[in-house]
Chains A and B, each alone.
Chain A
Amino acid sequence: MTEASTARVYGLHAAVVAVLFALNFLLPDYHHGLFARILVLATFAMGYNLLFGYAGLLSLGHAMFFAAGLYGSGLAITYLGFGVPAAFIAGLVCGALLALVVGLLALRTSGVAFMIVTMMFAQALLLTIVYFNQWTGGDQGLVLQQASRIVTIGNASVDLTVPTVRYVAALVLFAVVLFATLAIVRSRFGRVLVAIRENEERTRMLGYDTFANKLAAIVLSGVFCAAAGAAYALLFGYVGSNFASVQYSILPLLWVLAGGAATTLGPLIGTLFIYYVTDIASSYTSAWLLIVGVALILLVLFAPKGILGAVRKRWIRWLP
């Protein structure tokens, strides 16, 4: 890879982040709020993409990692009186530990069994959350008080409930995960993951420890998703079992498929696209699930590579 192409790739990603930052000042109120949410959910999708797009492992249980971050930070604030930074880290640790345990067990299987095992673990987490509804609030959820969502650094205090602060915080998280993904994908480790996706047997024969690499991919993916979950709890102040349901395992799959699996910017494009399609559709009809269903089938039938996947194939070959 030449230096020019490296500069071009990083330049493109920096430009995307810059545009998103400019939108902070340009967007009208309603879309401003929507974009903050989309940035957090796109981070979730990027975590999913690392495992599904690059390592080729289709998980149907990623809601559990999002929920681990969400509840890890939400419960730490509610019951342990953690501050915002400590709660965020608590969420990350929960996600990493869960991903490690699930990875160690689930990676003993592959293919269809892997999908079902991940789905079962996610379901078990959801049932656990419902079972302990005394503390978790069950499907009612918990609301985090505004006072607990203010970060104090020295004399300055940052209130995460202010829309602009919320947007910038979401963008910072998004940018960090975006550049982390980019760096991973362009590293040796990232190439090994793609090799495992393409032909696991051959990769193993070439002397790579495929199990360790896949486990690392699951843990990283889990940490990214947990970061999105923790940020969601802290920025929007709500923690509910709905986010641990099967639906939130399916949605990142849908976003990634729509935007283009194994493209760094695909998750953002896909999340934006699907979020706005359902948003516009739900202003006409309450049957938005129908649209999600039809979109999934059409995507898998006619555009299995997603929006950016098609763009890369036709026009911009250097897109990472």
Chain B
Amino acid sequence: MAFGPHLLLATLEGLVTAAVLALTALGLSLVFGVMRIVNVAHGEFFMLGAVLAWAVATALGTHPALGFVAALIVAPLVVGSVALLSERLVLRRLNYDPEATIVATIGLLYIIQQLALSFYGPEARPVTPPFSYRVLLPWFGYSGYKLSVIAASALLLIATWLVLTRTKIGLVMRATQYDREMAQAFAIPVERVYAGVFALGAMLAATAAVLIVPISQAHYLMGQDPLLLSFIVVIIGGLGSLRGTVVAALLIGLSDGIISMFFSPTLAKLIATLAVAMVLVFRPQGLFGTTAR
């Protein structure tokens, strides 16, 4: 294959990565922005979504499309409830102290990972894509499902943006993010907003995982890379900036796809990791963020 088509393939692969990454990172960014806490267990919510997708699709055992749609509904709901439960039982009692929350979510990470290993096992298992249409380009055929993942993710991102900017729920969330105490003084139920945001963040991660699982298989350790990459995206994009998150996800996804195609995946991750550390050191508010209040 010539360089041009090779680059196109790398770009397409990068776009799929970017699409899934943007959804996952958006979940982390919302939690980070509104609640001012770092959820280290975010990657495990992603993994849980993928594992549940496999479980639902296998349990139904009917047509792949039906199983996939069921998974797309059930997995985020279950993951959202798990997140809600841990928010109620643990995070609220810690009064969202940043350092204590990190320690607690690390604990949550281990618990979810171990439960997945015990009940799901160490194997990587595939989920059949809902359809197997191939788009024929002049140089190579490309999976239609991968293209639809990009489209679905774009739709979800637009929907989240509309909710954040055009609805009352979004307004309340932004008010809480802007000034927690003032929001409380204006009778906004801050605790309920926090619980909702935490669950929503987890659900976004789970949805992203269900979308990716027909492409890469479900595995109990699959949460680690998305966590790290989401951190990278959130930091480069700037806290709580939706536009920044999407742009950074595109940047990271594309460069990851292209560098791993032409060089080595480890080198791609190494460069991204160091780049982020440097962004944080020299521009702590991110590339698009405004200075933290």
Chain A residues close to B by CB (< 8 Å): 58, 60, 105-106, 108-109, 111-113, 115-117, 119-121, 123-124, 127-128, 130-131, 246, 250, 253, 257, 287, 289-290, 292-297, 299-301, 304
Contact = CB atoms under 8 A, between A and B. Distances in A.
B293 to A, nearest CB: 14
A293 B108 contact: yes
A115 B110 contact: no
Given A108-B284, A117-B280, A297-B108, 16 more contacts: A58-B99, A105-B278, A108-B281, A108-B282, A119-B231, A120-B232, A124-B273, A131-B266, A287-B114, A287-B118, A290-B115, A290-B118, A293-B106, A297-B111, A299-B103, A300-B104
Interface of B: 38, 90, 93-94, 98-100, 102-104, 106-111, 113-115, 117-118, 224, 228, 231-232, 235, 264, 266-267, 269-270, 273-274, 276-278, 280-282, 284
B90 A297 contact: yes
Contact of B110 (A105, A117, A253, A296): A296
Which of B111, B269, B278 has the most chain A CB atoms inside 10 A of its CB?
B111
B139 to A, nearest CB: 31
14 contacts: A60-B102, A106-B281, A109-B281, A113-B284, A117-B277, A120-B231, A120-B276, A127-B269, A130-B266, A253-B106, A290-B114, A292-B110, A301-B93, A301-B94
The binding surface of chain B is classed by DSSP as helix
B104 A116 contact: no
A123 B273 CA distance: 7
A300 B281 contact: no
A124 B98 CA distance: 24
A109 B109 CA distance: 25
- If over half of A's interface residues share one DSSP class (helix, strand or loop), that class is named, otherwise mixed; here it is helix
A116 B15 CA distance: 26
A131 B267 contact: yes
Contacts of A115: 38, 102
A297 B281 CA distance: 30
A121 B277 contact: yes
Nearest to B37: A112
Given A108-B282, A300-B100, A124 B277 contact: yes
Given A116-B38, A124-B273, A109 B280 contact: yes
B113 A297 contact: no
B100 A293 contact: no
Contacts of B278: 105
B108 A105 contact: no
Contacts of A299: 103
B87 to A, nearest CB: 13
Nearest to A249: B106
A128 B114 contact: no
A250 B38 CA distance: 15
A124 B267 CA distance: 10
A299 B109 CA distance: 15
Contacts of B264: 131
B111 A112 contact: no
B184 to A, nearest CB: 22
Q: Which 3 A-B pairs have the closest CB atoms?
A: A293-B110, A296-B107, A293-B111
B267 A253 contact: no
Among the interface residues B100, B114, B282, which one has the most CB atoms of the partner chain A within 10 A? B114
Q: Of residues B106, B108, B231, which shows the largest number of chain A Cβ atoms within 10 Å of its Cβ?
A: B106
A287 B100 CA distance: 24
Contact of A301 (B90, B235, B269, B277): B90
